[in-house]
Structure 1
């Protein structure tokens, strides 16, 4: 059994492998925003001989890899204090230890991308996705229409796209193109990201490309690199650069979806309607701690040239604050006005 849930679907089969492989082999270009990862209840029951090596490995990896250096020190100190107090000695269940460590590091950092996982079976040493994992991902995307829940033109000639993740561009490019082309002649566009928990930054930039008539600076994935990310604008035949754009958000909107909303807001290209988003800005990598424990650690933050901050821990503020369930109605009303 696998221990990760990504986008709440069968992507649990490949989340860790895909995240680690893409970053290891693609560098900044392939950073993946990881939605919250949770351990599975079916993994409990295996006794542990000692917990200290696991705790020490968590502390070491936090110190070496966590993007927020100041918070890394605080997390390490907190875990060391718990260890010295003997707080882990009585725990005999792997899943319970993983859950406790996750709660403790999040309590200090406030970062939901940080997670410890426990697997009853021995974890793979290779970070690369297997052919079976990739096949499972493709099947999941095919069955879910690449998480494009709806792409339609509403009354008053309003284009509406409800997208529940930003899937892998190499798998879902044709689906994304079809969705964007279906609203190309609409008067205004609404992107519904209220249930979107992030995904692949390449898809974030790809969809954003349709909204500009020139290549637009999007983000710099790592602070210590000169590699930049740009939209692919202009997109041949796209009429959307001249259209008004509305983005619907909720407190569930997370990670890559927040990047999409944040960039469009900073570029003054969209009006955000709904609730403040969840607040996950950091890109993560999976690290194997031992045969049964691993952890997801954010190692990079997205940088936008139009702001001196990101949305980590605070979320993206909407321009028009309303309850999430009312956001579509409000957006339709605004889009209908000349």
Structure 2
């Protein structure tokens, strides 16, 4: 009788714990954006280690969860965290190429984070992303999704499930929403005390969307690069943010290798908006219209239709259809306890 081979469990020994924590703290001290916070993290984590707080943890995943909780509690930084890799990361060039090819295939199967693009009733464009990846690998998909929205009467960007990503993709999408180059953000990097300015692109493929009314949907899960998108558009008065206050992570960085199975995500910079001279770290992006994430899309559709009825030159063509859809949405929202009149007053539509 054939027996299923027993999977060898990766067990965390005391020596390995010591090795992982020691190396992790060295990397944090060397590159974390705020040196004084890195020192505080080192002191407290070493104290916990020496006190035996972690000694009974033998499961590596649980160990990472507890260390990450401690790191974030000390630093108040949601980007800082330890991760366990069951399969070691590739080291040879051949293995790295295979790993990169596999990643690209996986991203393609998920359409590079572009989850849905469609026309909602009333000719409202709807654009949902769950992640912003590098423009080098998903730029064509981004451009195609934005060009699909060319003939819509207004656009809703749904970031309620978006956990962040690449600043270059944020800039690419924003490039379609402005006329001319616009200064979006600055990244202050610890290494070299360098400042990197982020601007919209001077050239886009297809037609501009700068004349479209824009709404952005957010939730408590909206994080990092997705918050960058929402914060920039809010600061530039280019969009109405609807939903929940976002998670609050404004420190970009990346994973640094500890050993074959452990890696630590370390923020090495911070975003500074050129208009507010501030960012959303620890506080999130506050919406203009605060409603639960489940109602954010319907509220946005309703507000857009009310604005179109009142201000759009296409009202003579679409007015009756817009009114019918708006009335249906209003009825649904009122039944769900949403104070639509109060919301209309918030953005001066009555």
Give the TM interval when normalised to the shorter protein: 0.7 to 0.9
**Deviant stretches of 4+, over 6 Å:** 126-129
Aligned to 2:13: 48
Residue-by-residue CA offset, 1:275-298 (whole Å, 9 max, x unaligned)? 001111111222222343321111
* Counterpart among 197, 206, 221 of residue 163 in structure 2: 197
1:271 paired with 2:240, answer: yes
Shift of 1:309: 1.8
2:300 is equivalent to residue 300 of structure 1:
no
Superposition pairs for residues 279-318 of structure 1, below 5 Å?
Answer: 279-318=248-287
- Name 1:63's counterpart in structure 2: 29
Alignment partners' CA distance in 2, 1:193 and 1:129: 34
Against the structure 1 CA distance between its residues 288 and 149, is the aligned structure 2 distance closer, same or farther, given a 3 Å change threshold? closer
What whole-Å deviation, never above 9, does each CA across 1:97-137 have from its counterpart, x for those lacking one?
Answer: 33322221112123221111234555555799822222222
Q: Is the 8 A contact 1:288 1:294 kept in 2?
A: yes
Query: 1: distance between equivalents of 2:26 and 2:158?
Result: 40
Give 2:182's match in structure 1, choosing from 210, 216, 239: 216
- Between the aligned partners of 1:323 and 1:128, the Cα distance in structure 2 is 48
Match of 1:172 in 2: 138
**Aligned CA distance change for structure 1 residues 61 and 268 (closer, same or farther; 3 Å):** same
8 Å Cα contact 1:213/1:241 also seen in 2: yes
1:207 alignment partner, one of 157, 173, 191: 173
Higher mean C-alpha deviation, range 266-275 or range 99-108: 99-108
Count of aligned pairs between the two proteins: 297
1:333/1:307 CA distance change after superposition, 3 Å: same
1:19-98 to 2 correspondences below 5 Å: 45-50=10-15, 51-98=17-64
Cα distance change of structure 1 residues 218 and 116 upon mapping to structure 2, 3 Å threshold: same
Q: Give 3-state SS (helix, strand or coil) of 1:228's partner.
A: strand
SS in 2 for 1:285: strand
Which protein has the larger Cα radius of gyration, Structure 1 or Structure 2?
2
CA gap of 1:173–1:129, structure 2 versus 1, over 3 A, is: farther
Aligned to 1:36: none
Determine if contact 1:44/1:95 at 8 Å carries over to the other structure: no
Structure 1 distance, partners of 2:117, 2:84, is 39
| CA offset digits 1:185-235 (Å, max 9, x no partner) | 211111011111111111110000000111111222224324422111453
Structure 1 CA distance, aligned partners of 2:10 and 2:204?
A: 54
CA distance 1:121–1:157, change in 2 (3 Å) = closer
Q: CA deviation at 1:96?
A: 3.6
1:83 Cα deviation from its structure 2 partner? 2.2
Q: CA contact under 8 A between 1:212 and 1:234: conserved in structure 2? A: no
Structure 1 stretches lacking a partner, 5+ long: 1-41
Cα contact 2:165–2:225 (8 A) shared by 1? yes
- For 1:284 and 1:43, locate their aligned partners in 2 and report how far apart those are by CA, in whole Å: 33
Specify which of 101, 107, 113 is matched with residue 73 of structure 2.
107
Q: Is the 8 A contact 1:190 1:245 kept in 2?
A: yes
Contact 2:14 2:55 (8 Å CA) reproduced: no
Could you tell me the TM-score, scaled by structure 2's length? Answer: 0.78
Distance 1:88 1:265 in 2: 43
Question: Residue 207 of structure 2 aligns with which residue?
Answer: 238
